[in-house]
Amino acid sequence: MKTYTIAPDYTWDIRINSFEAGPDRRLRLSNQLKLQQEVGELHLSEGGLDYNELYRHGMVFVLTRTHSRIHRAPVMGETVHLHTWHRDSKGAQFFRCYQFLDGEGHSLIDSVTAFALVDVQTHKLLRPSVFQEFGLGEQPERRGACPDPVKWKLPVGLSPAGQRVVRWSDIDCNGHLNNTVYADIACDVLPGGMSSRYVSEFSIAFVHEAVEGETLSLVSGVVGEGDGKTHWVAGDLPDGRRCFEAQLFLRPETAGENV
């Protein structure tokens, strides 16, 4: 049997490219999630367990929830150290932590993502115990500065926010709308828009997968007042099932922050 040697953690030194930044020259939420997706793949690949190897064993990881706290978004041209580690498993979920650090070691973003292990043929959930043979150790004491993503009850009274057709360019190697795209969808329909505002914290729940050609019906809204405002976005599949839900906290641009 093949032996896998997976290190406790992995660090990737990256530069924020122009195509990863938005109009404000800050790292887009969707590209933050892409970098997280890639660094997790690099971590496992270094130990001999890349996507194709895991697929050969009849299983893949799919995201269920993600949560991030953004202290300061990395900017175009900035060099960032992206650190990740597999933390532990609870029930049917695996938890992976991420930390984006600036050149001086200060935390820019802290993030936690929950994954489920799925059988590639039946699409049924697999218990974490089937993953033990690959030698991925658990580190439950290594908790980052971001709390775990949690379940919530979507507030009532959200307003229609248009529709979004799932296109070929949205689809990933698992055959469904890639998880990173949901962040763009949420930002595109936020009440009041994104101009002169930053996302300081966000969570996304990936409820049911969407495939090419389906049209998502979107709703959005704001709950609360002042600094306690919570922005919500959700999307439903054509058959009425919930596809995703997103919760975002924003703060206004302040003097001297524009880049």
Summarised one tens digit per residue, pLDDT across range 184-238 is 999 999 988 888 899 999 999 999 999 999 999 999 999 987 767 999 999 999 9
- DSSP, collapsed to helix, strand or coil, labels residue 89 as strand
Between the alpha carbon of residue 178 and those of residues 34, 86, 118, 143, the distances in Å are 10, 21, 16, 26
Mean pLDDT across the chain, nearest whole number?
A: 93
Q: In the 8-state DSSP scheme, what is residue 73?
A: -
Share of the chain above pLDDT 70, in %: 97
258 pLDDT more than 60: no
CA dihedral 236, 242, 244, 248 (to 10 degrees): 90
Summarised one tens digit per residue, pLDDT across range 40-98 is 999 999 999 999 999 999 999 999 999 999 999 999 999 999 999 999 998 889 999 99
CATH number of the domain encompassing residue 71: 3.10.129.10
Task: Please tell me whether residues 140 and 201 are part of one structural domain.
Answer: no
Task: Please tell me whether residues 174 and 256 are part of one structural domain.
Answer: yes
Q: Residue 227 phi/psi, 5° resolution?
A: -70, -10
Strand partners, 79: 15
Summarised one tens digit per residue, pLDDT across range 88-128 is 998 889 999 999 999 999 999 999 999 999 998 898 888 88
Task: Please tell me whether residues 144 and 200 are part of one structural domain.
Answer: no
Between the alpha carbon of residue 164 and those of residues 169, 187, 236, the distances in Å are 13, 13, 10
Instruction: Say if pTM beats, i.e. exceeds, 0.85.
Output: yes
The per-residue pLDDT for 255 is 44
Q: How many domains does the structure of the chain reveal?
A: 2
Of residues 90 and 245, more confidently modeled: 245
How many residues are present in the chain? 259
The per-residue pLDDT for 106 is 97
Point out the domain boundary residue: 86, 121, 149: 149
Task: Please tell me whether residues 21 and 129 are part of one structural domain.
Answer: yes
In angstroms, how far is CA 98 from the centroid of its own chain? 10
Give the separation between CA 187 and CA 191, rounded to whole angstroms.
Answer: 9
Pairing of strands 197-206, 59-70: antiparallel
Task: Please tell me whether residues 198 and 240 are part of one structural domain.
Answer: yes
The per-residue pLDDT for 1 is 61
In the structure, what pLDDT confidence band is assigned to residue 134 with cuts at 50, 70 and 90?
A: confident
130 pLDDT more than 50: yes
Task: Please tell me whether residues 127 and 76 are part of one structural domain.
Answer: yes
Point out the domain boundary residue: 119, 149, 179: 149
Point out the domain boundary residue: 123, 149, 175: 149
Domain extent at residue 157: 151-259
The per-residue pLDDT for 152 is 93
Task: Please tell me whether residues 133 and 184 are part of one structural domain.
Answer: no
